[in-house]
């Protein structure tokens, strides 16, 4: 693919996996990241690639030079910690709302017609409709969810007003290689994998019957790239459409890692939703995309990357849905 794309947040968990696949497909890639939660460790295996460049910068400071020759922007940079967004909503707005507005304005000035934005299931809040369609009610429970929703609306407006062809992806619970388990609110799978590797207890908050729609990061990367290559626009849920309970997840992690960990249940987390799962028909029918990594398969691949050098096995993690 002889095109140049900018990936904001490309040194983070999802962004660095996206960059791997873009490079595999022949793209010229520029990463713009302030390294606030991302790390050059996530992209170090690609830094010698002549088709990759790296700009260390805040999305609020993007300049015309950064966008020279760029055909499209994958906008993933964000503050992703929900608890931090409640503690400091102004900073959340600066990055997650104003930052997105700045990306859009700079793109408009540069004549770039396509921004692909990673929004979140957090826009829905504690929705009654499960599995959840894109049209379900939106009552976000945090500034993070609210700013993701408001930013998605900006992209939609830029389509209407400026003739852009932007895409808004509402990602459900993404997991896989390079997810950082280090803070108390890191994604549950990264924590379970870390504890299982040390034969430590896996702690489930609540009765273990709560569900999530866990989607493997390489399937997410494939959906983003397909959306660009097929030039679709609009808002799409990105998830598997299957619910996995926390009890099932914990047992599967122990199974695939061969761990001696036991499972303990502790008090449920305050204010959290019980069921979460999306209806992904819209994206499937628009793209022919198949999020076909089962939870067991995804956990096995993730485990492999923790056990061996990631770059040697990165291709294993990528299902070739793009070429279907």
Among 58, 71, 105, 247, interactor with ligand NAD by CB under 6 A: 58
- 191 is a contact residue toward ligand NAD (CB under 6 A): no
- 146 is a contact residue toward ligand NAD (CB under 6 A): no
H helices present in the chain, as ranges = 13-24, 82-87, 89-92, 99-110, 143-162, 188-197, 217-229, 246-257, 281-287, 295-307, 310-313
Among ligand UD1, ligand NAD, none, residue 15 binds (CB under 5-8 Å by kind): ligand NAD
Among ligand NAD, ligand UD1, none, residue 203 binds (CB under 5-8 Å by kind): ligand UD1
- 59 is a contact residue toward ligand NAD (CB under 6 A): yes
The 10 Å CB-count burial string (b at 16+, else e) for 103-138 is bbebbbebebbbbbbbbbbbbbbebeebbbebebeb
Catalytic residues: 144
Encoded one letter per residue, x for contact with ligand NAD by CB under 6 A and - for no contact, window 62-81 reads --------------xxxxx-
- 99 is a contact residue toward ligand NAD (CB under 6 A): yes
Contact between residue 204 and residue 250 where contact means Cβ atoms under 8 Å apart: yes
- 303 is a contact residue toward ligand NAD (CB under 6 A): no
Q: How near is the Cβ of 260 to ligand NAD at its closest, in Å?
A: 28
Strands 211-212 and 244-245: antiparallel
Q: Which stretches of the chain bind ligand NAD, using CB under 6 A?
A: 8-9, 11-15, 33-38, 58-59, 76-80, 95, 99, 118, 120, 171, 173-174, 187
């Amino acid at each position: 693919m002889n095109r140049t794309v900018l990936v904001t947040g490309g040194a983070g968990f999802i962004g660095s996996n996206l960059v791997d696949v873009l490079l595999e497909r022949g793209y010229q890639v520029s990463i713009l990241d302030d390294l606030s939660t991302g790390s050059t460790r996530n992209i170090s295996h690609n830094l010698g690639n002549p088709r990759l460049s790296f700009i260390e910068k805040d999305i609020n400071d993007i300049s015309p030079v950064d966008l020279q020759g760029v055909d499209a922007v994958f906008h993933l940079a964000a503050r992703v910690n929900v608890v931090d967004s409640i503690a400091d909503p102004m900073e959340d707005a600066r990055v997650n709302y104003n930052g997105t507005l700045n990306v859009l304005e700079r793109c408009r000035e540069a004549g770039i017609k396509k921004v692909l934005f990673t929004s979140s299931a957090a826009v829905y809040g504690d929705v009654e409709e499960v599995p959840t369609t894109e049209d379900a009610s939106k009552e976000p429970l945090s500034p993070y969810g609210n700013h993701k929703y408001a930013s998605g609306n900006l992209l939609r407006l830029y389509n209407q007003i400026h003739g852009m062809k932007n895409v808004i992806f509402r990602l459900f619970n993404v997991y896989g290689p390079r997810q950082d388990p280090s803070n108390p609110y890191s994604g549950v799978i990264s924590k379970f994998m870390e504890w299982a590797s040390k034969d430590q207890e896996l702690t489930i908050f609540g009765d273990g019957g709560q569900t999530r729609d866990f989607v493997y990061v390489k399937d997410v990367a494939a959906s983003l790239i397909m959306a660009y290559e097929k030039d679709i626009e609009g808002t799409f849920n990105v998830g598997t459409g299957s619910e996995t309970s926390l009890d099932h997840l914990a047992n599967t992690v122990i199974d695939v890692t061969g761990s001696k960990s036991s499972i303990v249940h502790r008090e449920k987390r305050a204010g959290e939703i019980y069921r979460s799962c999306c209806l992904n028909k819209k994206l499937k029918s628009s793209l022919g995309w198949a999020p076909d990594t089962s939870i067991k398969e995804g956990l096995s691949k993730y485990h492999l990357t923790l056990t061996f050098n990631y770059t040697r096995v990165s291709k294993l993690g990528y299902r070739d849905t793009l070429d279907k």
